[in-house]
Structure 1
Amino acid sequence: MEPDDRSLPLRERKRLRTRRALADAALRLFTEHGFDRTTVEQLVDEAEVSRSTFFRVFATKEAAAVEAETELWANYLAALDERPPNGPVLDHLRDALIAGAEALPPDWDSRYIATRRLALTAPALLGEIDYRRSGIEQEVVARLIGATGPDPADLRPRILAELTTTCWSVAARHWVAGDGAGGRGALITGIHNAFDAVPGALQLTVPEPHGSTSESV
């Protein structure tokens, strides 16, 4: 959801504007001064809100820093909820992920790239990102179990949920390393390429070294 979406109630638009102002201030100050050296007090002063307002919106500094990541996964879950599973599950997850990425606002690209670069300087942010992705995977698993039938011994929903975030990681890492060259279209292409590589990756084998033998000696 966007703060300027006129279909939303005024209170919701105000809430979203406050959240965006805090997230933007956090990303700017963390990038300029470092994550560890920036305090919550500095953030709320920059965004011109109270400390209590900050903690109503974000539980921690880390959460404010990785808002761009949070936006992606929120869109992904929303896309899953909008389209019931039909056919191969991995294709369904890929399509929902791409739909979620396509629905992000134009300025998300630069914010996400800045977030990922910031995370490389602060281990706490990498931990926050991993924590959030794990939570998203659990939510996806719950949705898949609801659609395919409850079977605690069935590992496939967990594998597919984690495989989807792995494909995202591969595509996004390459895109960020190239400074987002090609824009959102290049990122979407990278996601397609990552998923397309999965079947071949599962069949990948390493030939035995020349002259090796399986006979016992």
Structure 2
Amino acid sequence: MPIDDRALPLRERKRIRTRRVLADAALRLFTEKGFATTTVEELVDAAEVSRSTFFRAFPTKEAVAIEAENELWTGYLDALADRELTGPVLTALRDILTDTVTALPQDWAQRYIATRRLILTAPSLLGHVDYIRSGVKTQVAKQLTDKLALPEGDLRPRILAELATTAWAIAGRGWVTTNGTGGRTNLLERLHEAFAAVPDALQLST
């Protein structure tokens, strides 16, 4: 079930709503006018907020453009921090991603598809997404190292973090290509298929 904002403190609800208003305005304007040609001034005018409010919410134009992507990875990291790991770790990461996607706002899927299409038109956005995902993988590896009491430098948490993110990338890319056919159910089926393919892929030989 999507998270109910009403359970949050008033200040946090206002912060989230401001981010959503800005992100919605940005996605619409960037899609209509192009990312490079849309200014921050046009964004704040469309969202009816001040320039300072914008920069309190987002550090850059790139950040507001990929808010749907950021929602996913922020939720993933938060869920991992709260999860007590049992059983195979790669399966746990799959389940955490599944729970994260399920809990995202109802309009997230549509915004994510629009965001991925926008990214194809602006190389700087692709670079920003790669930067965000790199940071996520680093944080996941650190959390796994701490949770499992592994020595610093153990490569296994980093490999697992990479595999989980790659499985998402493969599933998400295929789903977006179909314009989100089948909704989140289909996206999660693709995600589980990608994770299930990992063991066989690692054993593949000639």
Normalization by structure 2: what TM-score?
Answer: 0.96
What is the match of residue 162 of structure 1? 162
CA contact (8 A) 2:25 2:43 kept: yes
Report the 3-state secondary structure (helix = DSSP H, G, I; strand = E; otherwise coil) of the residue aligned with 1:197: helix
Alignment pair present for 1:176 and 2:176: yes
- Identity, in percent, stands at 63
CA distance in 1, matches of 2:3, 2:168: 26
**Cα deviation 1:44-69 (Å, max 9, x = unaligned):** 00000111110000000000000000
**Aligned amino acid, residue 58 of structure 1:** F
Equivalent positions of 1:60-79 (< 5 A) are 60-79=60-79
Alignment pair present for 1:49 and 2:49: yes
CA contact (8 A) 1:167 1:194 kept: yes
Report the 3-state secondary structure (helix = DSSP H, G, I; strand = E; otherwise coil) of the residue aligned with 2:87: coil
What is the match of residue 89 of structure 2? 89
CA distance in 2, matches of 1:106, 1:185: 13
Which aligned segments of 4 or more residues in structure 1 are displaced greater than 6 angstroms?
none
The structure having more radius of gyration, on CA atoms, is 1
Relative to its length, the structure with more helix (as a share) is 2
CA distance in 1, matches of 2:50, 2:4: 23
Gaps of 5+ in 1: 207-217
- Larger relative contact order (CA 8 Å, sep ≥ 6): 2
**Aligned amino acid, residue 20 of structure 1:** R
CA contact (8 A) 1:3 1:13 kept: no
Report the 3-state secondary structure (helix = DSSP H, G, I; strand = E; otherwise coil) of the residue aligned with 1:84: coil
Normalization by structure 1: what TM-score?
Answer: 0.91
CA distance in 2, matches of 1:152, 1:12: 35
Q: CA RMSD in A?
A: 1.3
What is the match of residue 109 of structure 2? 109
CA distance in 1, matches of 2:119, 2:197: 27
CA distance in 1, matches of 2:43, 2:178: 30
